[in-house]
Structure 1
Amino acid sequence: MAASGFIPRIQTTQYHEAVRACLPTEWESWPDDDTSVNTSDTLDTFRKRANKSGFSWPRKPVVFISDPHADGEAFEASLIAAGAIKREGSNLCEFRLTKFGKNAEIVIGGDCLDKGPSNLAMLRSLAHLYRLKADVTLLAGNHDLRLLMGLLVLERQRDVGSQHMFVRMGKKVIPLFREVFDQYLLNTHWQEGLPSEAECRATLFPDDDWFENFPFFAAGFLTAEGIDREMRKMETKIESFEGHCNNAGLTLQQVYAAAMKCRSLFLKDSGEFNWFFKNMQLLKQRGSFLFLHAGLDDHMAALLAKRGIKHANRAFKKNLMTQNLFNFYYSPLANTFRTKYRKADLPLTPRGAKAAKKAGIRVLVQGHVNQHHGQRITLKNDLLHIEADITLDAHSRKNEGLDGFGAGATLIDKKRGIIGLSSDYPKAKVFQRSGKTRRKQAQ
């Protein structure tokens, strides 16, 4: 059957054999159980909508990989699993595009940074994909944007709404600063002209009266639940941030120096990673599928229905670089890479789902909420979601008790439907419009 041919033949080098060993060798119709859907009729709803005349598929295959979280090995293994690259050596960045990889669009669903094992290795692996002239779309994730805002706030006027945004990055950003310090600053005169330890602390941390002032500043922008959640989160982060730095062997002076080096690497035209935020988009629509990091709310759905994807992506870039950071981070634009559909988040209601339909959107393909049993298809207020964060990075897998290394991808193709590949589910999950798929051996 056509779907089985879309499960890639993985090359037989030692590395590719290791990837193959952790991936399913059989496939089945997308399972209709509690690990895959949250209502019993979600798959039937999806199938009915996919067969309607207004539903359209991407013109060429899409490979969606989300939340690699600083794990270049898992990222490249996922590209191999999708059949998009072939590894030609034992090291990262030693790969080439396959014929399929040249003909597919590769959508990275955000959160390339934080957690580990190496932010810089992950960025260099992604840079190599660009060098090969792959058709890559890089979407904004909350971890990625938190770094950018933490770097921007260092040289913007401090106000109550944004002065906490450096420490708000939390302990997950510290490994990046350790890497940057070791690779770019160690054994240099990095201390020359640097503020004192006390001055660095005053620059990196919010003012002493921040906790008193922030609830009043945020009133009208955030829900009561959102303000309470932000305050509790910041209490923990402010109390622990310096200790986490010390545990990583970094003084606040060294953190400040590494952060300023990151500004050079990411924000200057000559920086090694200048392409990262420059290439980043908020949303990508292909046919009836909207690719994004987290989700939609009513305001964003209405904006897309009225102004479209191009307007939203332009507004994302313009507002991020010119608007008050607080206004941006807690706006509907930013909700697309932050929401988990909690009470603290801007809501998606049936009204928003209707607006999304008006914009030609029938299915959201997202990351952000990591799964332990492969991809899930869910129905949220009448809007279909494919949840495709399948816990790739070694750090999360160790903390969450997952065996082996993470690999997998979500493949979307008009001829073969949707295929969910994951090292944490025994079979490839296959969704087709007809619903007539049968279990087969993967080729």
Structure 2
Amino acid sequence: MSRTLLPTIKDLPSHAGIRSTLPPASCVWPLEKGSADSRLRDDEMRQQALIDPYPADDWRWPKRPVIFISDTHADAEAFEASLVASGGVQLNDTPGQGRFKLTKQGKKAEFIIGGDCLDKGPSNLQMLRSLKRLYDLGARVTLLAGNHDLRLMMGLLAMQQKRHTGNEHLFARMGKKVIPLFREVFDSWPERNWLKGVPDADTCRSLLLPADDWFERFPAHAEGILTEAGVARELKKMRSKASSFERHCLNAGMDIRTVYAVARHCQRLFLHPKGEFYWFFKKMQLVRRTGSFLFLHAGLDDVMSRDIAERGLKKVNKRFRKALHKDLFSFYYSSLANTFRTKYRAADLPLSDAGVQQIHGCGVRALVHGHINRTRGQRLALRQGLLHVEADITLDRNSRRQEGLRGVGCGATIIDPGRHIIGISNDYPFAKVFRPAPLNPAR
């Protein structure tokens, strides 16, 4: 059997109708340095090493295809191209975005949107409208919470609350990446008298940015919740964001009073039951499981592994929704939020062997997530013996430009009931195929 092509995988989705170079054939999922033991002879053997000690018959596969697309970061064109690349939708003949319909495969599949729909640009509002179109077509859609999405929600919620050490930095914490959204909203309602009834600049500044003494108050407030490294990282991050936020707004053509007015309008759009995008946060979940696969935005820690194993996903998702409307500080620096923030850094809550044993014990064999972007398509990695399918393939054009990637990103990760995982990306010449079973049993 060829080590490059897998002609036995006949069901790669059709990519017709999108302006992107996508792989016409598949290969055994190549494993990068650090994914598994590099001393093993080839990718097939290293794939098998990734799933030991769990044999292939220990894995439970979803009954319907799962299409996972994550980290679209406000690029509606990339999102729709990825839907087409997955085989789940096809474009209509009429031009424009939001003009697609479900394919036969899409009607069978579950679409899991892995979070970070917002920020960076260029089309936050159209991205949300394209996602809403998928719901309106009757597709099975699960929307997961991403750190960029939740930062917007918490920044808007913090404006409504009495200011204190735990919340007064949350608006500025959104940083410069939220400014394209604010500019889009400002440009989309040109008839509004934006500054009517808006306070003066100093008042707006005091309502949106942390006070100068916040940096002295924060460590004591965070004691017992954040690690020492976590406190240091947060202070460093906030010094940069708070000092530069107004300048970035001015560079986008909005002074602090305009930003305050636009943020108030975003509250109506996202937080009010009659707002156009109220559904977005309402539908959001923290985790989703199907078969042996756990889907989330970023990763796990020991506390969340135990909660999932002992309480189950339904209770975890319910606790997530309740926590969003309580103390924002306690939520954002908790194990719940670590699920959409962690990159397994020293400042993040730890995942140890004990946590992996907990999650393995309840039947989870792999995490499928975004958050850690990759420039050569999806990646497989082991963390403390737990298989991670890293599926953030750098879709939005602003990030791609910064990383030297061409054009609009496009791709999807498919968990197929035929007992394999397919990773499709226009940044890799083949569709990567991973099967938790020996590819040549006779060997």
Answer yes or no: same fold by TM over 0.5.
Answer: yes
**CA displacement at 1:203 relative to structure 2:** 0.1
Q: Does 1:23 align with 2:22?
A: yes
Tell me, yes or no, if the aligned pair for 2:36 and 2:49 is still in contact at 8 Å. no
Q: Aligned ranges for residues 357-396 of structure 1 at < 5 Å?
A: 357-396=360-399
CA–CA separation in structure 2 for the residues paired with 1:316 and 1:32: 34
Give the TM-score, by structure 1 length: 0.94
- 2:27 is paired with a residue of what secondary structure? strand
Q: Aligned ranges for residues 148-297 of structure 1 at < 5 Å?
A: 148-184=153-189, 186-297=190-301
CA–CA separation in structure 2 for the residues paired with 1:28 and 1:134: 30
Residue 440 of structure 1 corresponds to none
Q: Which of 135, 141, 149 in structure 1 is aligned with 2:140?
A: 135
Over 3 Å counting, the alpha-carbon distance change for 1:71 and 1:46 in structure 2 is: same
CA–CA separation in structure 2 for the residues paired with 1:252 and 1:187: 20
Tell me, yes or no, if the aligned pair for 1:6 and 1:416 is still in contact at 8 Å. no
Over 3 Å counting, the alpha-carbon distance change for 1:54 and 1:435 in structure 2 is: closer
Tell me, yes or no, if the aligned pair for 2:26 and 2:431 is still in contact at 8 Å. yes
Tell me, yes or no, if the aligned pair for 2:309 and 2:361 is still in contact at 8 Å. yes
Q: Which of 412, 420, 434 in structure 1 is aligned with 2:415?
A: 412
Counterpart amino acid of residue 137 in structure 2: L
Q: Which of 115, 120, 136 in structure 1 is aligned with 2:120?
A: 115
* CA deviations over 1:302-334 (Å, ceiling 9, x no partner): 11111010011000000111x211100000000
Q: Which of 426, 429, 433 in structure 1 is aligned with 2:432?
A: 429
Residue 400 of structure 1 corresponds to 403
CA–CA separation in structure 2 for the residues paired with 1:50 and 1:58: 17
Aligned length: 428
Q: Does 1:315 align with 2:313?
A: no
Residue 3 of structure 2 corresponds to none
- 1:419 is paired with a residue of what secondary structure? strand
**CA displacement at 1:2 relative to structure 2:** 8.1
- 1:388 is paired with a residue of what secondary structure? strand
Higher RCO structure, 1 or 2 (CA under 8 Å, sep 6+): 1
**CA displacement at 1:435 relative to structure 2:** 3.7
Q: Does 1:345 align with 2:348?
A: yes
Question: Which deviates more from structure 2 when the two are superposed, residues 408-417 or residues 70-79?
Answer: 408-417
**CA displacement at 1:416 relative to structure 2:** 4.5
Counterpart amino acid of residue 360 in structure 1: G
Tell me, yes or no, if the aligned pair for 2:411 and 2:426 is still in contact at 8 Å. yes
Residue 441 of structure 1 corresponds to none
Tell me, yes or no, if the aligned pair for 2:298 and 2:339 is still in contact at 8 Å. yes
Question: Which deviates more from structure 2 when the two are superposed, residues 408-417 or residues 103-112?
Answer: 408-417
- 1:337 is paired with a residue of what secondary structure? helix
Tell me, yes or no, if the aligned pair for 1:332 and 1:346 is still in contact at 8 Å. yes
Q: Aligned ranges for residues 299-338 of structure 1 at < 5 Å?
A: 299-321=303-325, 323-338=326-341
**CA displacement at 1:39 relative to structure 2:** 4.0
Counterpart amino acid of residue 378 in structure 2: Q
**CA displacement at 1:194 relative to structure 2:** 1.5
CA–CA separation in structure 2 for the residues paired with 1:73 and 1:157: 39
Q: Aligned ranges for residues 39-50 of structure 1 at < 5 Å?
A: 39-40=37-38, 43-48=47-52
**CA displacement at 1:376 relative to structure 2:** 0.7
Residue 358 of structure 2 corresponds to 355
Counterpart amino acid of residue 68 in structure 2: F
Tell me, yes or no, if the aligned pair for 2:68 and 2:412 is still in contact at 8 Å. yes
- Report the RMSD for the aligned CA atoms in angstroms: 1.5
CA–CA separation in structure 2 for the residues paired with 1:96 and 1:262: 29
**CA displacement at 1:48 relative to structure 2:** 4.3
Counterpart amino acid of residue 205 in structure 2: R
Instruction: Extract structure 1 runs of 4+ deviating beyond 6 A.
Output: none
**CA displacement at 1:50 relative to structure 2:** 5.8
**CA displacement at 1:205 relative to structure 2:** 0.6
CA–CA separation in structure 2 for the residues paired with 1:175 and 1:278: 23
Tell me, yes or no, if the aligned pair for 1:3 and 1:430 is still in contact at 8 Å. no
Counterpart amino acid of residue 271 in structure 2: L
Question: Which deviates more from structure 2 when the two are superposed, residues 37-46 or residues 212-221?
Answer: 37-46
Q: Which runs of 5+ in 1 are unaligned?
A: 438-443
**CA displacement at 1:5 relative to structure 2:** 2.3
Question: Which deviates more from structure 2 when the two are superposed, residues 137-146 or residues 219-228?
Answer: 219-228
Tell me, yes or no, if the aligned pair for 2:287 and 2:296 is still in contact at 8 Å. yes
Tell me, yes or no, if the aligned pair for 2:166 and 2:221 is still in contact at 8 Å. yes
- 2:373 is paired with a residue of what secondary structure? coil
Counterpart amino acid of residue 157 in structure 1: K
CA–CA separation in structure 2 for the residues paired with 1:416 and 1:219: 46
Over 3 Å counting, the alpha-carbon distance change for 1:2 and 1:139 in structure 2 is: farther
**CA displacement at 1:219 relative to structure 2:** 1.3
- 1:412 is paired with a residue of what secondary structure? strand
Residue 35 of structure 2 corresponds to 37
**CA displacement at 1:385 relative to structure 2:** 0.4
Tell me, yes or no, if the aligned pair for 2:365 and 2:387 is still in contact at 8 Å. yes
Counterpart amino acid of residue 25 in structure 1: P
- 1:411 is paired with a residue of what secondary structure? strand
CA–CA separation in structure 2 for the residues paired with 1:48 and 1:60: 25
**CA displacement at 1:204 relative to structure 2:** 0.1
CA–CA separation in structure 2 for the residues paired with 1:430 and 1:328: 37
